[in-house]
Structure 1
Amino acid sequence: MKKIKEIIIVEGKSDTLAIKRSVEADTIETNGSEISIDTLNRIKRAHDIRGIIVFTDPDFPGKRIRQIISEFVPGCKHAYLAKQDAIAKGDKGVGVEHASTEAIIEALSHVREEMMESEERELIAWEDLIAAGLTGRADSKKRREIIGAELRLGYMNAKQLYKRLNMFRITQEEFQKALQVLYRNEED
């Protein structure tokens, strides 16, 4: 079983159980989207000592939790689970706790680190998103879903995609490779 040195930030106990069946790791639970200041301070301390990986559900509350943590603890690492990998059998919800061991290991093997604001520079321009049809087209949402999955960034709207591409230092080469996957999918 793979050992993860960073502490993984999850939403609840069921997520912790899913992580522990998949990898050897410590977790901190946010207890949902009502993150207390005490929990945020524990997350900050964990970040400073061992590093953290934010691994929340691929839904609106998960995105909100991720944003709160990122604002409180700049420079986090993030792992994203594709929504289709997190859907419970019988459509009883979406979450890390419903993901297979393989999907969790795959997500944790593609961790992305945030850039600190002082390090930010544009690697992917807004014009690159327009040229790739990731905004401004009827099928842009579907195209962003494919790019987000390929780059392990999760689903996002065009503005969020632009921010994440640059925040996680996605290079032009990585972006172009993801676009090639997009184009192959469209040919099929």
Structure 2
Amino acid sequence: MKIKEVIVVEGKSDTTKINQAVHADTIETNGSAINQETLELIKLANNRRGVIVFTDPDYPGQRIRNIIEKEIPNCKHAFLPKEKARSTSSNKSVGIEHASVADIQAALQNVYEVTLLEKSDIEKTDLLQYGLIGASNSREKRELLGNLLHIGFTNGKQLLKRLHMLQISKDELDWAMQHILERGRDDD
């Protein structure tokens, strides 16, 4: 699988793992120490070939994603669920470098492009109605939703913003929540 865009990752281990999964060029941010020079390189790569931001599914990875998104708002994004990025030797370590080749390929096949042309028709009341915020099991539902839609996990405050940013429609949300609710009934 050849990727046209340049993939932005956090470090050398991520680049090594990406190259096992696909043929692609990467830019490393050197963890959360992303500097202006690296941002300029990402901007240039985005203008020439396009960029896919593929950071770890943890707080520092989200912080890097937010910094890049603020500086270069039209990047593409790939997300990997936390459980697919856990180290087998240490349950605490999370990162792209721990993911399987198949999971990396799947994440890169479900890339989202952020555009400001349309607005999502999802409202906060929809999130409340589905129990994605304000319920005792909201976190679990948000994790399932993030995995099903390939948009990554977010906290309750960021979920609406992420859904709007990635232009997830109300129909897509309804479909995903129907799957999640049916899955819950099957577990009973």
TM-score higher than 0.5:
yes
Amino acid at match of 1:42: L
Amino acid at match of 2:20: R
Match of 2:38 in 1: 39
What RMSD in Å do the two structures reach over aligned CA positions?
1.0
Output one character per residue of 1:45-70: Cα deviation in whole Å (capped at 9) or x when no partner: 11111100000000110000000000
**Which of 130, 133, 136 is the aligned partner of 1:135?**
133
In 1: Cα distance, 2:94 partner to 2:16 partner: 16
In 1: Cα distance, 2:120 partner to 2:166 partner: 11
- The answer to whether the 8 Å contact 1:133/1:143 transfers is yes
In 2: Cα distance, 1:84 partner to 1:94 partner: 8
Identity %: 49
Match of 2:4 in 1: 5
Match of 1:17 in 2: 16
Match of 2:56 in 1: 57
- The answer to whether the 8 Å contact 2:32/2:61 transfers is yes
Output one character per residue of 1:34-92: Cα deviation in whole Å (capped at 9) or x when no partner: 10100000000111111000000001100000000000100111000010111011216
Alignment of 1:1-188 (within 5 A): 2-91=1-90, 93-116=93-116, 119-187=117-185, 188=187
- Partner SS, residue 154 of structure 1: coil
- The answer to whether the 8 Å contact 1:70/1:76 transfers is yes
List gaps (5 residues or longer) in structure 1.
none
In 1: Cα distance, 2:141 partner to 2:35 partner: 36
The Cα shift of 1:159 comes to: 2.1
Count of residue pairs the alignment pairs up? 185
Amino acid at match of 2:104: I
Amino acid at match of 2:3: I
- Partner SS, residue 33 of structure 2: coil
In 2: Cα distance, 1:153 partner to 1:42 partner: 25
Output one character per residue of 1:86-139: Cα deviation in whole Å (capped at 9) or x when no partner: 1011216110001000000010010011123xx352421111111111111111
Greater mean alpha carbon deviation, residues 152-161 or residues 99-108: 152-161
Task: Provide the TM-score with structure 1 as the length reference.
Answer: 0.95
In 2: Cα distance, 1:180 partner to 1:36 partner: 42
In 2: Cα distance, 1:70 partner to 1:114 partner: 9
Task: Provide the TM-score with structure 2 as the length reference.
Answer: 0.95
Amino acid at match of 2:132: L
